[in-house]
Amino acid sequence: MRIVAAMSGGVDSAVAAARMLDAGHEVVGVHLALSRSAATLRESARGCCTIEDAGDARRVADRLGIPFYVWDMSEQFQADVVDDFVAEYAAGRTPNPCLRCNERIKFAALLEKALALGFDGVATGHYARIIEPGDPECSTGRRELHRAVDPAKDQSYVLGVLDAQQLSASWFPLGDTTKPQIRQEAAERGFAVAKKPDSHDICFIADGDTRGFLARQVERTPGQILDAQGQVVGEHSGAVGFTVGQRKGLHLRRPAADGRPRYVVATDPVANTVTVGAESLLSVDLIYADRARWCGPVPVGPVQVGAQVRAHGQEYPGTAVADGHGGIEVRLAEPVRGVAPGQAVVLYQGTRVVGSGTITRSTRQRAAAGAS
C-alpha cells in the first residue's frame, strides 16, 4: 500500500514511519505546518510545528530513504482548531483541541488530501491499536479501534472522533509497544530524535498559559462570582478561562460557612457569572452529549459501556443510548467529578472504542428525576 506517514518531528512518528516501511509499504513522510508563524527552535517540551521540528522530521525521512514533504495546513488549523478553541471557551465550554485536530485536520484534511493523491491511508505515531476482522479480539467483523497496550501512553481517547470510514484508512503502528521500547528502537535505528522530549499540553500555547492566551483572544468583562444560593462571594476579571472543577485562582472574599474549599461548578458567559460550591456539587452521573461520532455502526438501544471524560482519566461503567440525531445520553453507575460542557465523552466496550460525543450538560440522576 501507499501510505502517508504524518511526521511531527518527534520520536513516535519517526518510529511509526519506519515500521510502516518495514512492513513493506510505500511510505512518504509528510510534516504538517500548522503554525502561521513557526518559531525556529523549541523553547520547552510544549508546542509544536517549529522549524526545528520540521528539520528533525526531514532528517528521519532521509535516514529511512523516503520522500518527504511539508504540507501547509496553517489556515485550516487556525480556523478549525485554534478559533474553535477560543469560541468554545467564550461560550463557557471546555474544549479538547487535540480531539478537534484529529477530527478536522489529521484524519479529515490530511487523510482526504492523501486519498485524493492516490495514497491508501495515513499512519501516525498515536498510541492505539487497529484490530482487523478475523482477529480473535475483533467483535464486530469490522476494522476496530482499541486501546494501546501501554495504559500510560494510550491515546485512544483523542482518536474517539474517528468514524468508520476514517478508521478504514488509518494506521497506528505503535499501539502494541511501550514508550521506553519506542525510544530504544529509535536509538537502535540511529534516529537523532530518540531522546527528544515529548510535547505536551496545548500545542499552540507554547508557554502553557491557557488563561493568558484566552485573555489575549477574548474580550474580558469583570463580573461576579456567586455561591450555590446566588449570593455574591467575589469578583472575576472575566468568566472566560474558568472551568468546572477549578479550585485555584478564585480569590473569594467570603469563605464558605463550613470553612471547606469551594470549586467552580458552573459558568454562564451570557450573564458573565462564575458559580462556586462544595466539592459534592461536582459529582454527576448523567451526561448528555451531541456531535456523536461512531467508530462503527450506531448502537441500537441501551448499550453497556465504559465512559471516559478526560484524556488520561478513569473509565466509568454505565449505559449509553444514541438518539439517532447525533445525541447521546450516558448514565453512569457511579458519580464522576468535574464534568464540563465542551469536554468529550468517549465510550468503550472492553478495549474497543465505540464512539464519542461532545458534552452539553451533566447532572445527578436523582436531581433529574426530581425535576421531571
Residue 214 lies in a domain: no
pLDDT digits (tens, 9 = 90+) for 238-286: 887 788 888 888 888 777 878 888 999 988 888 889 999 998 888 999 9
19 and 104: one domain?
yes
Which domain-ending residue is among 227, 250, 277? Answer: 277
Active site includes 101? yes
Does 144 fall in a domain?
Answer: no
Same structural domain, 58 and 183: yes
Alpha helix (H) residue ranges in 142-243 = 164-167, 179-188, 210-217
| % residues pLDDT > 70 (the chain) | 94
- 355 forms beta bridges with 294, 347
Strands 223-226 and 170-171 turn out to be unpaired
Note whether 225 and 305 are same-domain residues. Answer: no
Alpha-carbon torsion, ordered 80, 86, 92, 96, to 10 deg = 60
48, 49, 98, 203: the active-site residue: 203
Q: Is 159 a domain residue?
A: no
Final residue in a domain of this structure, among 277, 312, 345: 277
pLDDT value at residue 48: 59
Do 256 and 350 fall into the same domain? no
CATH value at residue 348: 2.40.30.10
Contact, 86 vs 217, CB < 8 A? yes
202 found inside a domain: no
User: What rounded mean pLDDT belongs to the chain?
Assistant: 90
Look at residue 91 and give its three-state secondary structure: coil
Q: Which residues are CB-contacts of 62 (< 8 A; sequence separation ≥ 6)?
A: 68
Same domain as 95, residue 234: no
If asked whether residues 179 and 227 sit together in one domain, one would say: no
Give pLDDT, residue 204: 84
Residue 149 resides in a domain? no
Q: How far is it, in rounded angstroms, from Cα 307 to Cα 349?
A: 9
Residues 271 and 350: beta-carbon distance below 8 Å: no
Same domain? For 114 and 223 the reply is no
Residues 304 and 237 in one domain: no
- Here the CATH number for the domain that contains residue 79 is 3.40.50.620
For residue 352, what pLDDT is reported? Answer: 97
Helix-strand-coil percent breakdown of the chain, rounded to 5?
A: 30, 30, 45
Task: Report the pLDDT value the prediction gives residue 287, as an integer from 0 to 100.
Answer: 97
Instruction: Compute the chain's Rg from CA coordinates.
Output: 22
* Residues in the chain where the model's pLDDT stays below 50: 40-46, 368-372
Is residue 45 included in any domain, yes or no? yes
Q: Is 203 a catalytic residue?
A: yes
Instruction: Please indicate, yes or no, whether residues 15 and 91 belong to a single structural domain of this protein.
Output: yes
Which of 295, 290, 299, 307 shows the shortest CA–CA distance to 355?
295
Q: Is residue 160 part of a domain?
A: no
- Catalytic one among 48, 49, 98, 101? 101
pLDDT at 39: 53
pLDDT of residue 44: 46
User: Among residues 235, 251, 277, which one ends one of the domains?
Assistant: 277
CATH of residue 272's domain is 2.30.30.280
Q: Which three cell numbers stand for residue 333?
A: 453507575
Same domain for 62 and 37, yes or no, is yes
Question: What does the pLDDT read at residue 269?
Answer: 82
Report how many domains make up the chain: 3
What is the pTM (predicted TM-score) of this model? 0.89
- Cell numbers describing residue 298: 450506531
Q: Is 324 found in the same domain as 259?
A: no
Q: Which residue segment(s) compose the domain that 268 sits in?
A: 219-277
* Same domain (yes/no): 80, 177: yes
